[in-house]
């Protein structure tokens, strides 16, 4: 064990070389006290005073206009009560420059009973307070921003979300803190989409795309979202910042334009141009995945007579009624097209048997359709399945031939184009 002299020498050496400022005062609280009896070099560096300028003086010489009087009153109360005290406020260096100090004061009992001194450990926290103030200002600015912003750490866990984010998503910032943005996923974007996103971010590149996200209440919304890595001074990625702007109105307009470009105005089915694209896509999938491909071509019987007898408004109404039946009967994902004036095309990823079954159901449904003005309406239908090595033109030609035979055979019937 160290002897008393050695202990005192060690404590003095430690105090003199300590990084934090150390100040010792007496315990005399009268006559403007307590007064400084010791300060280490760190305290002198922090205040700008020489040790000789401080000894015997009150620490009050460090106070100034911005010193918080409430803090000083609390300090004085702690001294009078001879209890541990801690606080922070603004002090002033010898040259008049202000700094923020955090310090604690502990009473020291010389004989174990009577307090003879107070020892204070102090630290200049000006830089930390400045950083915190800048952070608070940044947070306030982000919360005033109109567009949603959130920040994640390097593990993609949310550490900040602004008020606009809360308003858009329905989540409070406290609810999402510590969670990943995956809670916003709607499931409507592919795994490949997210792989491309992470490929860019892991290479410290920004990623921007349109996201279909989900609010807390389950409703979907669209945003143009930009995600950027945040790098520290060493070039290491520490955070990600995401900014976005809602584009639901834009998506709605785009969808309306898409409908105008691809939908037949009268029937609501795909138009001829969109039908050509759908047939091309179906043929590509047929070749790539060896899936069966069939088509149904149907034509309203005696349609010219309907127009001639009842007028074009009645003819338009019949087209709409039959288009509605076709849309109801066709399987989800099977394109239904207004192929011509009174002619319709259905594309099926199905074999001839399934296509013939659908065609017969359509024929029967139309046969039971009674228009109050026109009366009975019927369909003739031709069906064909894609053969090995056949083109779409040849497939349509066989279906069209089957439709022609159905017409010649008395109409209101389904004919197969198999083998032709």
At 398, the pLDDT band (50, 70, 90 cuts) reads very high
Distances (CA, A) of 43 to 38, 52, 353, 385, 392: 10, 12, 94, 93, 90
Residue where a domain stops, chosen among 77, 93, 124: 124
Mean pLDDT, the chain, whole residue set:
90
Tell whether 225 and 114 lie within a shared domain: no
The whole model's pTM is what? 0.54
Residues 6+ apart with CB under 8 A from 10: 2
Same domain as 408, residue 268: yes
78-87, 136-145, 234-243, 350-359 — which is least confidently predicted?
Answer: 136-145
Query: Does 94 fall in a domain?
Result: yes
The domain boundary residue, chosen from 224, 251, 278: 251
Q: Are residues 36 and 70 in the same domain?
A: yes
Is residue 340 one of the residues assigned to a domain? Answer: yes
CATH number, domain containing residue 110: 3.30.450.20
Q: Is residue 213 within 8 Å of 223, Cβ to Cβ?
A: yes
Provide the strand spans (E) within 162-318: 207-214, 220-231, 237-246, 294-300
Q: Are residues 393 and 300 in the same domain?
A: yes
Average pLDDT over residues 273-284: 92
Looking at the structure, do residues 22 and 47 belong to the same domain, yes or no? yes
Are 302 and 336 within one domain?
A: yes
291 and 400 share a domain? yes
The domain total for the chain is 3
Q: Is the pLDDT of residue 420 over 70?
A: no
Question: Quick one: average pLDDT of 284-311?
Answer: 92
| Residue 229, helix vs strand vs coil | strand
CATH number at residue 364: 3.30.70.270
Q: Which residues have C-beta within 8 Å of that of residue 390, sequence separation ≥ 6?
A: none
Helix, strand or coil, per DSSP, at residue 87: strand
Same-domain status, 271 and 396:
yes
Task: Report the run of H or E that residue 383 belongs to, with start and end.
Answer: strand 379-385
Known catalytic residues? 342
How many separate helices (H) and strands (E) can be counted in the chain? 14, 17
CA distances from 313 to 223, 260, 369 (A): 43, 22, 18
> Quick one: pLDDT at residue 1?
46
How does pLDDT run across 50-99, given as a tens digit for each residue?
Answer: 999 999 999 999 999 999 999 999 999 999 999 999 999 999 999 999 99
In a domain, 232, yes or no: yes
Q: Do residue 96 and residue 203 come from a single domain?
A: no
- Find the domain containing 89 and state its range: 4-124
| 416 touches 383 (CB < 8 A) | yes
Q: Clarify whether residues 219 and 79 are in a common domain.
A: no
Q: Is the pLDDT of residue 2 over 60?
A: no
**Within a domain: 258:** no
Of 267, 295, 297, the C-alpha closest to 380 is 297
Q: Is 336 left (phi over 0), alpha (psi -120 to 50) or beta?
A: beta
């Amino acid at each position: 064990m160290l002897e008393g002299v050695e202990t005192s020498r060690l404590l003095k050496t430690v105090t003199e070389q300590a990084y934090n400022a150390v100040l010792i005062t007496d315990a005399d609280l009268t006559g403007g006290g307590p007064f400084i009896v010791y300060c280490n070099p760190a305290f002198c560096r922090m205040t700008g005073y020489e040790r000789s300028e401080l000894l015997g003086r009150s620490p009050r010489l460090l106070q100034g206009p911005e010193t918080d009087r409430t803090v000083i009153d609390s300090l004085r109360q702690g001294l009078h009560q001879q209890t541990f005290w801690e606080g922070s406020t603004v002090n002033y260096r010898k040259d008049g420059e202000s700094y923020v100090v955090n310090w604690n004061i502990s009473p020291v009992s010389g004989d174990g009973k009577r307090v003879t001194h107070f020892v204070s450990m102090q630290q200049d926290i000006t830089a930390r307070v400045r950083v915190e103030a800048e952070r608070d200002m940044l947070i306030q600015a982000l919360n005033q921003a109109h567009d949603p912003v959130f920040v994640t750490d390097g593990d993609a866990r949310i550490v900040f979300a602004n008020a606009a984010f809360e308003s858009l998503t329905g989540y409070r910032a406290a609810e999402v803190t510590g969670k990943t943005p995956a809670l916003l996923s709607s499931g409507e974007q592919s795994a490949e989409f997210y792989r491309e996103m992470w490929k860019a971010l892991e290479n410290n590149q920004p990623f921007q795309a349109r996201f279909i996200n989900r609010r807390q209440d389950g409703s979907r919304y669209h945003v143009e979202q930009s995600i950027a890595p945040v790098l520290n001074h060493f070039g290491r990625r520490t955070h990600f910042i995401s900014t976005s702007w809602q584009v639901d109105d834009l998506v709605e307009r785009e969808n309306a334009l898409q409908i105008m470009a691809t939908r037949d105005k009268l029937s609501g089915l795909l138009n001829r141009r969109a039908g050509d694209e759908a047939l091309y896509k179906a043929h590509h999938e047929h070749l790539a995945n060896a899936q069966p491909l069939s088509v149904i071509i149907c034509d309203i019987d005696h349609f010219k007579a309907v127009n001639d007898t009842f007028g074009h408004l009645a003819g338009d109404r019949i087209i709409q009624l039959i288009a509605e039946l076709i849309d109801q009967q066709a399987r989800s994902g099977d394109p239904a097209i207004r192929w011509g004036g009174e002619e319709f095309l259905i594309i099926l990823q199905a074999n001839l048997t399934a296509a013939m079954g659908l065609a017969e159901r359509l024929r029967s449904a139309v046969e039971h359709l009674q228009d109050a003005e026109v009366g009975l309406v019927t369909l003739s239908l031709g069906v064909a399945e894609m053969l090995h090595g056949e083109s779409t033109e040849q497939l349509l030609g066989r279906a069209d031939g089957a439709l022609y035979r159905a017409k010649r055979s008395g109409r209101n019937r389904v004919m197969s184009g198999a083998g032709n």
